[in-house]
C-alpha cells in the first residue's frame, strides 16, 4: 500500500497535508474540509468528488475510541502528577480534546480518502 510520502514524491499532497491543511489529494488546492471532520462536496479547482468517499458507519470509532481512552489516561496521570485548579483543567482539556480528536479524525479520513482514490485510479 503506498504511503503519503509516495504521493508527495509525485508532487501531490500526502496524507498529512490533506489532513492538516485541507489540500486536495489530486491538485493540491485548498478546500478538502467543509467542517471540522467532514469532507467538502468536491474540489473547487479540479472537481474531484470528496463526499462520495467519506467513511460512513462505525469505522471511525476505531480511531475515536483509542484516542478517547488515551486522553482519559493522560488526564488521570496529569492529575496524579500536578494538582491543577479546576479552571485550568477545564481550559486545558476543553481545548486539547477537540483539537486531538479533530486531528486524529482528519488523518484517518484523509488516509481512507487517498486509499479509495488510488484504488479507483483517480490520483
CB of 102 to Zn ion, least distance (A): 22
Taking the least distance from each CB to Zn ion, the nearer of 104 and 113 is 113
39 — phi, psi (to 5°)?
Answer: -70, 150
Instruction: State the residue for C-alpha cell 496524579.
Output: 80
User: What does the alpha-carbon distance between residue 28 and residue 2 come to, in Å, rounded to a whole number?
Assistant: 18
Residue 63's nearest CA partner among 115, 28, 22, 110 is 110
Taking the least distance from each CB to Zn ion, the nearer of 8 and 101 is 8
Are 110 and 19 a contacting pair, CB within 8 Å? yes
Taking the least distance from each CB to Zn ion, the nearer of 29 and 123 is 29
- Which three three-digit cell numbers place residue 39? 469532507
CB of 73 to Zn ion, least distance (A): 39
Taking the least distance from each CB to Zn ion, the nearer of 75 and 116 is 116
Instruction: List residues near Zn ion by CB under 5 A.
Output: 24, 26-27, 29, 43, 45-46, 48
CB of 98 to Zn ion, least distance (A): 27
Amino acid at each position: 500500500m503506498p504511503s503519503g510520502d509516495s504521493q508527495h514524491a509525485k508532487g501531490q499532497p500526502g496524507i498529512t497535508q490533506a489532513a492538516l491543511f485541507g489540500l486536495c489529494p489530486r491538485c493540491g488546492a485548498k478546500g478538502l474540509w467543509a467542517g471540522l471532520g467532514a469532507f467538502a462536496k468536491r474540489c473547487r479547482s479540479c472537481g474531484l468528488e470528496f463526499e462520495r468517499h467519506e467513511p460512513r458507519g462505525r469505522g471511525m470509532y476505531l480511531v475515536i475510541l483509542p484516542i478517547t481512552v488515551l486522553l482519559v489516561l493522560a488526564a488521570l496521570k496529569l492529575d496524579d502528577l500536578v494538582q491543577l485548579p479546576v479552571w485550568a483543567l477545564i481550559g486545558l482539556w476543553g481545548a486539547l480534546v477537540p483539537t486531538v480528536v479533530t486531528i486524529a479524525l482528519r488523518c484517518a479520513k484523509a488516509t481512507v480518502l487517498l486509499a479509495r482514490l488510488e484504488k479507483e485510479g483517480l490520483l
